């Protein structure tokens, strides 16, 4: 597409992209670098962007891939691969926790956001795309370059993991 | 305890709106009947609600927004002026080349006249009408050239008329008169010239071109040129006489 349209199409995504970037990097400076690089790459590749396809998914994918190749992203990726293997066993244990004990915690926004920030990056991003960006599974699959089935299973594991974290916290307000 | 085979993942899909409508309807009914799933759903819903606070949780600074805005709008602000500049440069180059191509034609009258002068001198028959009498030479040109001119009285001057011939300058007929002064031949060329055609020739002054002294002037659309290897003073004198005769 003509780069002339880039500004009017890409700028409305600015706040969302920044928010995700900050959640992924956990740091303002890193988030700004990530967003800036994302816009630079998107502008460069904008001619190859097909009109009528999903610009939001396209830009989020650029941001996410840029993050994964960045310093913080590489570190996060290394820790995840181990984690995903051990995951299946954990799913079962999550169900042992009664919903009632989690409910109280899950109503506390700050506790939930703290838990979200502590999640491994692949869980954090898929939850953000689903719950915050309210993307469909299909869109998430596009952003993460994954089959839809993998999106569903990873999302489920991510939620269980978040639930676990809420359940293992003391019911009192978190002090971290 | 658990009295159905629903798993948390299916319930989450239901809440995400990703179940096909028939399955979603069945699930809705089931949740109404199953306290276990209802409790599960309430946890998921409250998690969803709390997670919503992660939206716009981090906001970019105004300064950073401006920076990205500028970056995103660069194609318009950067390439358009460049394109304009490129076109402007092309236009300038084009204009220069037009001027350059037109230039030789403008200096042509002088070199053409010099050629005529030299070829007349080199010819064994430099003139078509051989006469020292201006009253013979002038009428001879009638009907041969599309204009008329006067030849000054030469008696008592150092100049002698040798004769004249018809020449072509700029593809138009003109007159060439040949005068002698102390063994030097001087040509006087008279031809029609469109207005504004020969700006390269300065009016009235004697100039040196390729060892020839040249005087040129214009009366209406008639171009007069006096050319020869005689002294500048002699060229000027003959030019003045010619000029006076044709005023």
Same-domain status, B66 and B149: no
Would residue B220 count as lying in a domain?
Answer: yes
- Do A95 and A128 fall within a single domain? yes
Residues B162, B88 share a domain: no
For residue B127, is it within any domain?
A: yes
Mean pLDDT score of chain A: 81
pLDDT of residue B162: 87
Beta carbons of B74 and A128 less than 8 Å apart: no
- Note whether residue B2 is domain-resident: no
- Both B47 and B90 in a single domain? no
Nearest partner of A159 among B27, B4, B48, B30, judged by Cα: B48
DSSP letter at B105? Answer: H
In a domain, A78, yes or no: no
pLDDT at B178: 92
Check A106 against B76: CB less than 8 A apart. no
pLDDT tens for A66-115 read 998 887 767 766 665 545 545 544 444 445 556 666 776 777 888 888 88
Helix (H) or strand (E) holding B149: none
Among A residues 15-54, those touching chain B with beta carbons less than 8 Å apart: 15, 18-19, 22-23, 28, 31-32, 35-36, 39-40, 43
Burial class (CB in 10 A: 0-12, 13-18, 19+), A29: exposed
Closest CA to A13 of B74, B65, B52: B65
Residues of the domain holding B77: 62-96
For residue B75, name the pLDDT band (cuts at 50, 70, 90). Answer: low
Q: What is the pLDDT of residue A18?
A: 95
B68 touches chain A (CB under 8 A): yes
- Assess B51–A contact: CB distance below 8 Å, yes or no: yes
In a domain, B104, yes or no: no
Q: Is residue B88 part of a domain?
A: yes
pLDDT tens-digit series, residues B15-42: 999 999 998 999 988 988 888 888 888 8
Task: Name the β-bridge partners of B208.
Answer: B213
Instruction: Flag whether A33 is in a domain.
Output: yes
Regarding pTM above 0.90, the answer is no
B73 and B121, same domain (yes or no) = no
Are both A117 and A65 inside the same structural domain?
Answer: no
- Asked, for residue A100, whether it belongs to a domain, the answer is yes
Hey, what are A43's tokens? 């502008």
Answer yes or no: do B198 and B126 share one domain: yes
| Helix, strand counts (H, E) of chain B | 8, 7
- pLDDT (0 to 100) of residue A131: 92
pLDDT at residue A174, rounded to an integer: 42
For residue B185, the SS3 value is: strand
CA B44 vs CA A20, B147, B181: distances in Å: 22, 109, 120
Q: Which of B69, B72, B73, B82 to mutate to test the interface with A (most CBs of A within 10 A)?
A: B72
**In a 10 Å sphere around its CB, with 0-12 CB exposed, 13-18 middle and 19+ buried, how is residue A103 labelled?**
middle
**In chain B, which residue's Cα lies nearest the Cα of A14?**
B65
Same domain, A26 and A60: yes
Which of the four pLDDT bands, split at 50, 70 and 90, describes residue B119?
confident
Q: Do A11 and B69 touch (CB under 8 A)?
A: yes
CA gap B49, B53 in Å, rounded: 7
Size (chain A), residues: 176
CATH number reported for the structural domain that contains residue A123 in this entry: 1.10.10.10
pLDDT tens digit string along B126-172? 888 888 888 888 888 888 898 888 888 888 888 888 889 998 887 88
What is the SS3 assignment for B217? Answer: strand
How many domains are there within chain B? 3
Place of tokens 């639930």: A163
| Residues of chain B found within 8 Å of residue A4, distances taken between Cβ atoms | 75-76
Q: What residues make up the domain containing A49? A: 3-69
For residue A35, being part of any structural domain is answered with yes
Tokens 């001619």 belong to residue: A47
Q: How many domains does chain A have?
A: 2
Q: What is the pLDDT of residue A78?
A: 63
Locate B229 and state its tokens.
Answer: 């290897």
At A42, give phi and psi (nearest 5°).
-65, -40
Q: Which of A99-108, A165-174, B130-139, B221-230 has the lowest mean pLDDT?
A: A165-174
What's the confidence (pLDDT) of residue B79? 63
Between these two residues, B107 and A125, which has the higher pLDDT value? Answer: A125
Confidence tier at B63 by pLDDT (50, 70, 90): very high
Q: Is A84 domain-assigned?
A: no
**Across the interface, do B71 and A40 touch by the CB < 8 Å criterion?**
yes
**Residues in chain B, how many?**
247
- Interval A33-76: pLDDT, tens: 999 999 999 988 888 887 778 889 999 999 999 998 887 767 76
Chain A positions touching B68 (Cβ under 8 A) are 11, 14, 35-36, 39
Average pLDDT, stretch A125-136? 93
Q: Same structural domain for residues A147 and A93? A: yes
| A10 belongs to a structural domain | yes
B222 band by pLDDT with thresholds 50, 70 and 90: confident
């Amino acid at each position: 597409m003509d780069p002339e349209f880039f500004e009017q199409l890409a700028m409305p995504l600015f706040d969302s992209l920044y928010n995700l970037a900050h959640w992924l990097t956990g740091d303002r400076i890193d988030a700004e670098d990530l967003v800036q690089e994302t816009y630079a790459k998107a502008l460069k590749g904008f001619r190859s962007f097909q009109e009528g396809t999903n610009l939001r998914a396209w830009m989020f994918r650029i941001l996410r891939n840029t993050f994964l190749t960045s310093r913080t992203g590489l570190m996060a990726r290394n820790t995840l691969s181990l984690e995903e293997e051990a995951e299946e066993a954990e799913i079962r244990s999550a169900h042992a926790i009664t919903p009632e004990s989690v409910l109280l915690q899950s109503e506390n926004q700050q506790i939930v956001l703290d838990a979200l920030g502590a999640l491994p990056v692949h869980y954090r991003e898929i939850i953000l795309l689903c719950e915050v960006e309210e993307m469909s599974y299909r869109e998430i699959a596009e952003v993460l370059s994954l089959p839809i089935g993998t999106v569903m299973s990873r999302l489920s594991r991510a939620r269980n993991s978040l639930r676990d974290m809420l359940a293992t916290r003391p019911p009192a307000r978190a002090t971290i | 305890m658990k009295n159905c085979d629903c798993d948390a993942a299916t319930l989450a899909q239901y809440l995400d709106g990703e179940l096909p409508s028939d399955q979603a309807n069945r699930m809705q009914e089931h949740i109404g009947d199953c306290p276990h799933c209802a409790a599960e759903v309430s946890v998921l819903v409250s998690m969803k609600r709390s997670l919503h606070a992660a939206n716009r949780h981090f906001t970019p600074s105004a300064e950073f927004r401006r920076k990205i805005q500028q970056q995103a709008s660069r194609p318009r602000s950067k390439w358009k002026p460049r394109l304009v500049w490129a076109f402007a440069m092309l236009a300038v180059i084009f204009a220069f080349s037009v001027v350059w191509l037109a230039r030789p034609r403008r200096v042509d009258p002088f070199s053409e006249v010099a050629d005529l002068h030299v070829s007349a001198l080199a010819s064994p028959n430099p003139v078509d009408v051989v006469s020292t009498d201006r009253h013979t030479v002038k009428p001879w040109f009638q009907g041969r050239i599309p204009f008329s001119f006067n030849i000054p009285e030469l008696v008592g001057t150092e100049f002698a008329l040798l004769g004249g011939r018809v020449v072509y300058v700029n593809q138009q007929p003109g007159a060439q008169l040949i005068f002698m002064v102390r063994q030097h031949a001087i040509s006087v060329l008279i031809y029609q010239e469109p207005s504004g055609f020969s700006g390269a020739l300065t009016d009235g002054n004697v100039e040196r071109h390729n060892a020839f002294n040249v005087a040129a002037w214009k009366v209406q659309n008639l171009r007069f040129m006096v050319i020869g290897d005689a002294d500048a003073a002699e060229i000027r004198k003959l030019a003045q006489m010619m000029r006076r005769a044709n005023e």
